[in-house]
Amino acid sequence: MLSGQVLVVDDEEFFLKLMFHILRKDGCLVRTAQNREEALNWLRKETFDLAIVDIRMAPKDGFNVLEDIKKDYPRIKVIMTTGFPSPETRTFCLQSGAAGYIAKPIEIDELKGIIQSLLP
């Protein structure tokens, strides 16, 4: 069982719905955003423990969201996701302040393990 407040940011509606149902079923309070602006609106309104952020989004990518979170909400842990994984991208994410990095398609048990290690 997981707990905590999680923000999922991804431009794919199916992925957002999937994450919402999986994480909520496991005990998290979940909010979703399809872009940077929606994510920033949630961040201004509520307190989050964790954000799961897709790298490839338009017009601003997930690196912009990671930068916003680390600058204005540094205590939020961020897991970056991508359908185009590479060692360079992983290194960049972690050096930029991400607490985790996971490739799509996401293995749910792997994601839950990462989340469990990051949430109180």
In this prediction, residue 56 carries a pLDDT of 95
Reading the block at residue 89, the tokens are: 């991208």
User: Average pLDDT per run of 10 along the chain, which is 120 residues long?
Assistant: 92 96 96 97 98 94 97 98 96 97 95 91
Q: Would you kindly state where each structural domain of the chain is located, as residue ranges?
A: 4-118
Write the DSSP assignment of 30-41 as a string of letters.
EEEESSHHHHHH
Reading the block at residue 72, the tokens are: 């204005």
In this prediction, residue 2 carries a pLDDT of 80
Q: What is the pTM of this model?
A: 0.96
In this prediction, residue 95 carries a pLDDT of 97
Whether CATH 3.40.50.2300 fits 4-118: yes
Short-list 59, 53, 115, 63, CA closest to 89: 63
Cα atoms in the Cβ-side hemisphere of radius 13 Å centred on 117 = 10
